[in-house]
Amino acid sequence: MARTIEVTDLILRDAQQSLLETSMALEDLIPVCEDLDNAGYWSLEVWGGASFDSCIRLLNEDPWERLRTYRKLLPKTKLQMLLRGQNLLAYRNFDDSIVEKFVEKAAQNGIDVFRVFDAFNDVRNLKASLQAVRRIGKHAQGSICYLPSPVHTVAAFVDIAQQIKEVGCDSICIRDVAGLLKPQVAYDLVKGIKQKCGKGTLVNVHTRSTTGVTMVSLMKAVEAGCDMVDTAISSLAFGRGHNPTESFVEMLEGTGYECRLDMERVLRVKHHIATVRPRYRGFLDGHMGVETEIFESQIPASMISSTEIQLKGQDTGHLLQDVLSEIRDVRRDAGYPALDPPADQIIGTQAVFNQLQGKYKVLTSEFADLMLGYYGTPLGEKNAEVLAMASARANKPPISCRAADLLQPEWERRRSEAAVLPGFGGTDEDVLTYAMFPKIAPQFFKTRMEGPKHIGNEPATVDSEQPDANRSGGASASPVTYVVSLNGKEHKVMVAPVKE
């Protein structure tokens, strides 16, 4: 009797986020829903990550409405989302009342499976959402953010899994967004988690195809006892995306493991997506080969790209290798968080400032908060000197408690603020949209009635606001805080005196 391996297909969310900047219009995805729903997937990832942001920022589409549409079109299959723990779908901690409200509304609108992660692997940041999910009877999947570091041994990751298990979850995901999970580590991790958390603990493996080794990692994970994997149908696979669903199914033949997918339906989806994909050529990530150099840098390929774009926008493209090296140093100084939102943006920006202004001459307020524990506590020791600097400049102490414990409930305030916005629909969903994206939600509410935009077949329109490096580098007698807009996101920057 072959053991069944369950599959979550990413084609409706992460695959297009990884390869097409989440640009795909719902109308191009609707035609594949019937086949997807009947193909026999364990779940379909349809929401979360950057898709919410992308809907309101680029597509003028209500992400809640998109979710409800998927729910209608995919009645048989569990719908899954990716949730950034206490950060929800944004880049800062929210208080528990907002987290709980979000989980409740997401479930009401159609989500069955909540995959929850925290870039710091600080399990306290998963607790509120995992528990909220379980209270309403949905599937709570806690994630390990896999990124190697000197302190991130297999044993350390297994410990994190055990902590997640203790908080309470229905399954555990080994989440490798860089594609750095090599076959032997995949095997050891799954084996270790099964041993420590119990054989019955469901384990999913999520990885990328970027380095060309992770199809083998999936095989080894299966051999070690993994229950579920993530793949994407092949017409939206490879490169910085994922391993192809069809190949995963085929490779298991005769191995004692099998998937129960209806391959005729899967192939129909493949062909439809291959047909519409050229509409999004302008968004297509051109990196479709393998990038094994990232085993050395341990920086996700997508972060390398965005750093390169950022530097080129400042005519400092020649600094790329230095900045990448600086990213590694800053990550080390910060105690080795995973390069996942929000840590990736904060560390990347700080590394750019370090290169342009001198090491830690400028601290972004986000980076200071990160050093001081206001996002979460990573596994590694922090650089004490940088920590002291952050505390002095931000004029606040480091914390060791869960960061969200310091937050005041903000639901009522956000509701009142949203209520006066033109186009506000009066729903809790709109309050949540506003709470997570207070800068762009007002504009979206205003234009929502115009309906979704199809942005395919047009050149990419990327927000290319860049910080004014000269301005932020000016010397002044004491730390001055002001706002720098970088890649469309505002950063409060503290400028320290430059010592000659």
Q: Does residue number 151 form part of the binding site for its own copies (CB under 8 A)?
A: no
- Show contacts with its own copies in window 157-196 (CB under 8 A): 182-185
Using the minimum distance from each CB to its own copies, give the nearer residue, 255 or 447: 255
Using the minimum distance from each CB to its own copies, give the nearer residue, 32 or 219: 219
Least distance from its own copies to the Cβ atom of residue 18, Å: 15
- Show contacts with its own copies in window 259-288 (CB under 8 A): 263, 267, 274, 288
Alpha-carbon gap, residue 314 to 196, rounded angstroms: 49
Query: What are the strands, taking DSSP E only, across 49-133?
Result: 78-83, 113-116
Q: Does residue number 399 form part of the binding site for its own copies (CB under 8 A)?
A: no
Strand pairing category for 362-364 and 480-486? unpaired
Question: How many chain residues are in contact with its own copies, going by CB under 8 A?
Answer: 35
Stretch that binds its own copies, among 84-92, 129-137, 213-221, 318-326 (CB under 8 A): 213-221
Q: Does residue number 406 form part of the binding site for its own copies (CB under 8 A)?
A: no
Stretch that binds its own copies, among 237-245, 320-328, 355-363, 400-408 (CB under 8 A): 237-245
Cβ(161)–Cβ(205) below 8 Å? no
Q: Does residue number 247 form part of the binding site for its own copies (CB under 8 A)?
A: yes
Using the minimum distance from each CB to its own copies, give the nearer residue, 272 or 446: 272
Q: Does residue number 290 form part of the binding site for its own copies (CB under 8 A)?
A: yes
CA atoms within 13 A on the CB side of 165: 18
Of 456, 46, 142, 78, the closest CA to residue 282 belongs to: 456
Q: Does residue number 475 form part of the binding site for its own copies (CB under 8 A)?
A: no
Quickly count: other Cβ atoms within 10 Å of residue 438's Cβ.
Answer: 14
By CB under 8 A, name the one of 27, 166, 262, 293 that touches its own copies.
Answer: 293
Q: How far is CA 343 from the centre of its chain?
A: 10
Query: What are the strands, taking DSSP E only, across 306-372?
Result: 362-364
Q: Does residue number 289 form part of the binding site for its own copies (CB under 8 A)?
A: yes
Q: Does residue number 244 form part of the binding site for its own copies (CB under 8 A)?
A: yes
Least distance from its own copies to the Cβ atom of residue 21, Å: 19
Stretch that binds its own copies, among 44-52, 190-198, 244-252, 391-399 (CB under 8 A): 244-252
Using the minimum distance from each CB to its own copies, give the nearer residue, 275 or 464: 275
Least distance from its own copies to the Cβ atom of residue 238, Å: 7
- On the question of a cis peptide bond just before residue 342, with omega within 30 degrees of 0, the verdict is yes
Least distance from its own copies to the Cβ atom of residue 296, Å: 9
| Block residue for tokens 């009401």 | 108
Angstrom CA distances, 452 to 65, 325, 449, stand at 11, 41, 9
Alpha-carbon gap, residue 233 to 269, rounded angstroms: 8
Q: Name the token pair of 334.
A: 């910060």
Least distance from its own copies to the Cβ atom of residue 160, Å: 20
Cβ(224)–Cβ(203) below 8 Å? no
Query: What are the strands, taking DSSP E only, across 131-264?
Result: 139-145, 171-175, 202-206, 228-231, 257-258
Least distance from its own copies to the Cβ atom of residue 277, Å: 10
Cβ(393)–Cβ(81) below 8 Å? no
Using the minimum distance from each CB to its own copies, give the nearer residue, 191 or 393: 191
Alpha-carbon gap, residue 3 to 1, rounded angstroms: 6
Stretch that binds its own copies, among 89-97, 198-206, 207-215, 413-421 (CB under 8 A): 207-215
Using the minimum distance from each CB to its own copies, give the nearer residue, 262 or 293: 293
Strand pairing category for 6-9 and 43-48? parallel
Of 418, 419, 381, the closest CA to residue 398 belongs to: 381
Of 170, 112, 172, the closest CA to residue 138 belongs to: 112
By CB under 8 A, name the one of 90, 251, 284, 460 that touches its own copies.
Answer: 251
Q: Tell me the per-residue interface mask from 343 to 382 with its own copies, x by CB under 8 A, - otherwise.
A: ----------------------------------------
For the chain, state the CA radius of gyration.
22
Sheet holding 480-486, edge to edge: 362-364, 489-495, 480-486
By CB under 8 A, name the one of 38, 195, 292, 427 that touches its own copies.
Answer: 292
Contact residues: its own copies, CB under 8 A: 182-185, 211-213, 215-217, 219-220, 234-235, 237-238, 243-244, 246-247, 249-251, 253-255, 263, 267, 274, 288-290, 292-293, 295
